Amino acid sequence: MRSAEDVSVVVVTDCGSTTTKAILLERIDGALRQTHRGEAPTTVEAPVEDVTAGVIASLRELSDASGRRLIDENGELIRPARNGEGTDLYLSTSSAGGGLQMMVAGMVARISAESAQRAALGAGAIVADVVACDDERPLHEQVERVRRLRPDMVLLAGGTDGGARVGVIEMAELLAAADPRPRFGEGFRLPVVYAGNRDARRQVANVLGERAELFAVDNLRPVVDRENLDPAREKIHDLFLDHVMRQAPGFSRLVDWTDAPVMPTPSAVGAMLEVAAERSRRAVLCVDIGGATTDVFSVVDGVYGRTVSANQGVSYSAANVLAAAGREAIERWLPFAMDAGALRDAVMNKTIRPTTIPDTLEDLLVEQALAREALRLSFEQHRAFSTGLKGGRSDRNIDGGLVGGPLDRSRVTPEKIGLIVGSGGVLSHAPRNAQTAAMLIDAFQPTGVTRLAKDSIFMMPHLGVLAGLLREEAALVLERDCLEEIGVCVAPLGRVRRGRPCLSATVERAGGRTDRERLSGGETYRFPLAGSEEALLVLEPARGIDVGAGRGHRRELRVSGGDCGVAVDCRGRPIAFPEDHAERREAVARWLSAIGAYRDEEIGA
Amino acid sequence: MTQMSSPGLEISPRVVFSRWRRLPVEGELLASVGDDVEADDVVARADLPGPLHPVRAAGALGIPRAELPRRTVVEEGDAVEERQLLASSRALWGLLRSEVRAPMSGIVESISDVTGQIVLRAAPRPIELRAYLGGKVTGVEPGRAVEIETSSSLVQGIVGLGSETAGEVAVLAGGEGGTLGAGAVRSEHAGAVVVARGGISAEAVDRLREVGAAAVVAGGIGGDDLVRIAGREPNIAATGDERIGLTLILTEGFGDLEMSRRAFAVLSGLEGKRVSACGTTQVRAGVVRPEVIGPPLQGEASTPSREAALGVRVRVVRGRRFGATGIVEAIPERPVELPTGARALAYEVKLDDGERTLVPRANAELV
């Protein structure tokens, strides 16, 4: 680890799929603080086809903003930091060109293939497809699919050590026959990481050896009841850098510039989240909702998990969200009636013109309704994926089939989550933080007492790669400069019945002012409380209602607020909507007004 | 926050550009550098490998996998016919014979003593690559691609379905606007690239499919109608593989939208002329727009502005004034507050109908 004292200036870039963002960190009063930022379009695609052009452009923006010259006359980074110029450290993350795209193959879809998918996602990849011996698709269809894909690399797994070999060799033969070509580097062999039965390594090498660049690592499922994902994850990381990044336009130059390996953006976010969870000693959920994909990260019960919902996003994937969620699911979040055809047209037009922005309130409400559904679907996928291991004795019925629904067994449950962090344009750049809070609450439907925050600049990847060298410093920047506290959500569990007493909430502020409100089922209320203000929150639930201390049990805790203050949500879980459409719209308008997302006159509340 | 406006779609009566025409697999080029080609000329051909079909032969024969090679009567590389014997075994002291026969014609790709599979590859499918553009061959990649430089008319749309096609342009209903119904379609539209100035209905598209039109280019279509035509929810962010009976190109988007004057002027100028059209659309990671390409027309060649400046023409592509055009009168340096409460960079635009309005830069297409 680098010594913190040696470092007074750090520059970090994240090369996103459309934008390269640069941040400047400077040591002020002994601590690193984020002081300035700059951004420029990412330049991986034609006509520029050199990622470093976009990096340099973003660093020039950063120089303009900060007054610190970073690039010399020869277009090189100035190092070290001296006389108000240059930097001591330069780091970067990347998801440019779509990031790391992988294909995963296993023997059994819900055992080895699922573990392999977790390894790939944990390494920061987008998993383009998963094939398995027990795939529903006929083999020739799988082969065609594999041939059409152009992944950056393949992860092959299957069979416990000393166990079955045939299935994983069958998958290797399928891969060999399909002969997938890598996305970058025409003429290069596709990297394949083999993380299955060690007894099958030789035969897999015989099958794939000439068609692919094969790397064998420890079995990621050595026995059915245990996962060992780290060796595969680390190999994927290394290969991402050596094989994938170096083929992508300009990346070999970028890799030479940085003082630590370039990380895939989602891996860096995950790294920072683990630090945050460790420091706060709470389960953390983080979501980054983009135009095309939504990443969900969690650290729950000390276990890190990540999923990428590749078809859930608010611009390029907007039409997919409509298709997956259905029109009614989106309409239910609107406080006004909208012609069904007009809603579909609006969503589809956003898909084909993804960079346009809403310029009417109606348009904004539709986009935020869409975002709620994209987040909800992505969270469901994340929960379904974050389960205990399948395949062990306790998971099988008498005939040996796997049992148990995925959400029943999910490690990630709303009542465990202590902090939700939102990122991505629709959340970070909502005109009011209360709108961000409303989207997070409606989508994730947290229970108990949950803090809400946003990462406006999306600095998490930058801090994640920094954490690899300066862990404590990165954590402090996260708390002080990255996360903006929006407020607190209080939501009871239990039999919440419309119109019946649900909960009494009291906020006792430091200055002595006390507010108290009694809520019935279906109601919502907001206590104003600034982010800098702390208060004692006292919750007295009705019988059968649980606010995190057991049914009917009172709970006291200290909280600080944010723009949204303390939002109390007695709509029930799942949120119960009135069946009558007009009543539903009125209820939605009241909720949006109560939380401060919209003024009454804006939405007719 | 976006600083840039959307670059406009390419719409020009006459523009010079180059395009690579690529085979999906290695093949044979039929044109060389310097050759003049027409749009319908075949410039390359190849054999597309047939699909693979694994046969679980050892399992079917009831034998250990390692024994399969001894039981096969064909070898890797052999051509086989459908129902041809691939492998056999005998059991019960030779009394019972099991056989595995080829489910289709093809080539034996592999015989595995580990998995017990015989993998067959179906016969290759010959494909031909049209030039698609009229022009001169200016470059080749041996066995893979030719580059053609062309001076052509070009109309890009915003979204399409379906792949490459060609036909003569026919303008429906005399070039009037409004949503076109099925009554405007006639049997002589068979094989044509039909142009509708306004929106088009699902019924009109159905009728066009019935008469065998090659393509339809319209201002807009209702999203519900598009789903009905496609028979499912199409992924409109990445299209081109749809088989909907013709190629569909929208110049404006979804809803009852009228084609821009510029686009209609070029397309109606192509009436009676043979054009190439393609509905393939990709909204990100290398944007691809659907297009109509035809012979060059008289008239001023124009390309959309790349930089916003005073006096530049813009088109509103979202919101209340979707489709309206006007002139940029001022470019405020600082973000302005929108009715949504958000702040964004915007243009002050005087629209052609005289209204003055603020248009977020992200919602203005440079024309």
Which of A207-211, A388-392, B197-201, B292-296 has the lowest average pLDDT? A388-392
Indicate if the alpha-carbon torsion angle A356, A358, A362, A367 is positive or negative. Answer: positive
Q: Is the pLDDT of residue B360 over 60?
A: yes
The verdict on a CB contact (< 8 Å) between B285 and A347 is no
| Residue bearing the bigger pLDDT, A263 or A541 | A541
Q: What is the pLDDT of residue B5?
A: 44
The verdict on a CB contact (< 8 Å) between B2 and A173 is no
Mean pLDDT score of chain A? 88
- Tens digit of each residue's pLDDT (9 = 90 or more) over A332-381: 999 999 999 999 999 999 999 988 999 999 999 999 999 999 999 999 98
Q: Which residues pair with A555 in a beta bridge?
A: A539
Nearest CA to A232 out of A242, A220, A240, A221 is that of A220
Q: What is the band of A184 on the pLDDT scale with cuts at 50, 70, 90? A: low
Which of B5, B18, B52 has the highest number of chain A CBs within 10 A, making it the mutation to test binding with A? B52
Q: What proportion of chain B, given as a percentage, has pLDDT over 90?
A: 69
Distance from CA of A362 to the nearest CA of B (A): 9
Q: What is the pLDDT of residue A128?
A: 82
CB-based contact, B317 to chain A, within 8 Å: yes
Q: How many CB atoms lie within 10 A of CB B351?
A: 17
| Residue bearing the bigger pLDDT, A390 or A92 | A92
Q: What is the pLDDT of residue B4?
A: 40
Q: Which residues of A touch B65 (CB under 8 A)?
A: 166
Q: Over A207-257, what HEC string results?
A: HHCCCEEEEECCCCCCECCECCCHHHHHHHHHHHHHHHHCCCCCHHHHHHH
| Residue bearing the bigger pLDDT, B167 or A239 | B167
Distance, in Å, from the CA atom of A208 to the CA atom of A193, rounded to the nearest integer, reads: 11
Q: Which residues of A touch B253 (CB under 8 A)?
A: 345, 348-349, 352-353
Taking residues A35-55, report their average pLDDT: 85
Taking residues A219-224, report their average pLDDT: 92
Q: Which residues of A touch B66 (CB under 8 A)?
A: none
Taking residues B163-188, report their average pLDDT: 86
The verdict on a CB contact (< 8 Å) between A353 and B6 is yes
Interface list for B 118-147 with A (CB within 8 A): 119
CB-based contact, B339 to chain A, within 8 Å: yes
Distance, in Å, from the CA atom of A446 to the CA atom of A490, rounded to the nearest integer, reads: 8
CB-based contact, B285 to chain A, within 8 Å: yes
The pTM of the whole model exceeds 0.90: no
Q: For residue A133, give the chain B residue with the closest CA.
A: B115
Which of A494-503, A510-519, B168-177 has the lowest average pLDDT? B168-177
Taking residues A50-71, report their average pLDDT: 93
Paired sense of beta strands A31-41 and A514-520, if any:
unpaired
Which of B76-90, B164-178, B232-246, B350-364 has the lowest average pLDDT? B164-178
Q: What is the band of B2 on the pLDDT scale with cuts at 50, 70, 90? A: very low
Taking residues B308-331, report their average pLDDT: 90
Distance, in Å, from the CA atom of A1 to the CA atom of A7, rounded to the nearest integer, reads: 12
Q: Which residues of B touch A348 (CB under 8 A)?
A: 223, 226, 236, 253-254
The CA-based angle A504-A507-A509, given to 5 degrees, is: 165
Paired sense of beta strands B193-199 and B215-221, if any:
parallel
Strands (E), B92-192: 96-101, 106-111, 118-122, 125-130, 135-141, 145-156, 159-161, 165-171
Residue A596 tokens, joined: 């401060």
Nearest CA to A490 out of A597, A573, A585 is that of A573
- DSSP, collapsed to helix, strand or coil, labels residue B230 as helix
CB-based contact, B173 to chain A, within 8 Å: no
Q: What is the band of A186 on the pLDDT scale with cuts at 50, 70, 90? A: low
Interface list for A 236-295 with B (CB within 8 A): 291-292
Question: Considering CB atoms only, which of B51, B235, B254 is closest to A320?
Answer: B235
CA B138 to chain centroid, in Å, comes to 24
Interface list for A 305-364 with B (CB within 8 A): 316-317, 319-320, 322-323, 340-342, 344-345, 347-349, 351-361, 363-364
CB-based contact, B52 to chain A, within 8 Å: yes
CA A84 to chain centroid, in Å, comes to 36
Distance, in Å, from the CA atom of B345 to the CA atom of B336, rounded to the nearest integer, reads: 6
Question: Considering CB atoms only, which of A45, A357, A431 is closest to B360?
Answer: A357
- Tens digit of each residue's pLDDT (9 = 90 or more) over A314-334: 998 999 999 999 999 999 999
Q: What is the pLDDT of residue B153?
A: 96
CB-based contact, B344 to chain A, within 8 Å: yes
Nearest CA to A440 out of A584, A564, A577 is that of A564
Distance, in Å, from the CA atom of A160 to the CA atom of B89, rounded to the nearest integer, reads: 32
The verdict on a CB contact (< 8 Å) between A319 and B285 is no
- DSSP, collapsed to helix, strand or coil, labels residue B143 as coil
Percent helix / strand / coil, chain B, rounded to 5: 15, 40, 45
Chain A to chain B, count of Cβ pairs less than 8 Å apart? 150
Q: What is the band of B309 on the pLDDT scale with cuts at 50, 70, 90? A: confident
Q: What is the pLDDT of residue A245?
A: 66
Q: What proportion of chain A, given as a percentage, has pLDDT over 70?
A: 93
Q: What is the pLDDT of residue A398?
A: 46
- Say whether the peptide bond before residue B142 is cis (omega within 30 degrees of 0): no
Q: How many CA atoms lie within 13 A of A581 on its CB side?
A: 7
The verdict on a CB contact (< 8 Å) between A359 and B363 is yes
The verdict on a CB contact (< 8 Å) between B236 and A319 is yes
The verdict on a CB contact (< 8 Å) between B344 and A98 is no
Can you state the angle between helices A230-239 and A114-122, rounded to 10 degrees? 50
CB-based contact, B353 to chain A, within 8 Å: no
- DSSP, collapsed to helix, strand or coil, labels residue A355 as coil
Q: Which residues pair with B357 in a beta bridge?
A: B349
Q: Is the pLDDT of residue A390 over 70?
A: no
Question: Considering CB atoms only, which of B254, B320, B338 is closest to A349?
Answer: B254
B60, B120 contact by CB (below 8 A): no
- Tens digit of each residue's pLDDT (9 = 90 or more) over A560-588: 999 999 999 999 999 999 999 999 999 99
ipTM for the predicted complex comes to 0.88
Q: Which residues of A touch B317 (CB under 8 A)?
A: 353, 356
A464, A277 contact by CB (below 8 A): no
Distance from CA of B99 to the nearest CA of A (A): 21
Q: Which residues pair with B128 in a beta bridge?
A: B45
CB-based contact, B222 to chain A, within 8 Å: yes
- Say whether the peptide bond before residue B332 is cis (omega within 30 degrees of 0): no
Q: What is the dihedral of CA A227, A231, A237, A241, to 10 degrees?
A: -160
CB-neighbour burial class of residue A47 (10 A; exposed 0-12, middle 13-18, buried 19+) = exposed
- Tens digit of each residue's pLDDT (9 = 90 or more) over A7-20: 999 999 999 877 89
Q: What is the pLDDT of residue B276?
A: 96
A13, A59 contact by CB (below 8 A): yes
- Tens digit of each residue's pLDDT (9 = 90 or more) over B192-220: 999 999 999 999 999 999 999 999 999 99
Q: Is the pLDDT of residue A397 over 50?
A: no
Question: Considering CB atoms only, which of A178, A292, A359 is closest to B339?
Answer: A359
CB-based contact, A48 to chain B, within 8 Å: no
Nearest CA to B105 out of B125, B89, B90 is that of B125
Residue A508 tokens, joined: 């006792």
Taking residues A55-77, report their average pLDDT: 93
Q: Is the pLDDT of residue A400 over 80?
A: no
Tell me the one-letter amino acid at A595.
I
Taking residues A169-175, report their average pLDDT: 86
Q: Which residues of B touch A291 (CB under 8 A)?
A: 284
Name the most confidently modeled range: A358-367, A405-414, B227-236: A358-367
Q: What proportion of chain B, given as a percentage, has pLDDT over 70?
A: 94
Taking residues A33-43, report their average pLDDT: 91
CA distances in angstroms from A35 to A10, A22, A31, A454, A455, listed in the order given: 11, 11, 12, 18, 15
Query: How many residues are given for chain B?
Result: 367
Distance from CA of A311 to the nearest CA of B (A): 10
A417-439 per-residue burial string, b: 16 or more CB within 10 A, e: under 16: bbbbbbbbbbbbebbbbbbbbbb
The verdict on a CB contact (< 8 Å) between A352 and B158 is yes
Mean pLDDT score of chain B? 90
Q: What is the pLDDT of residue B3?
A: 34
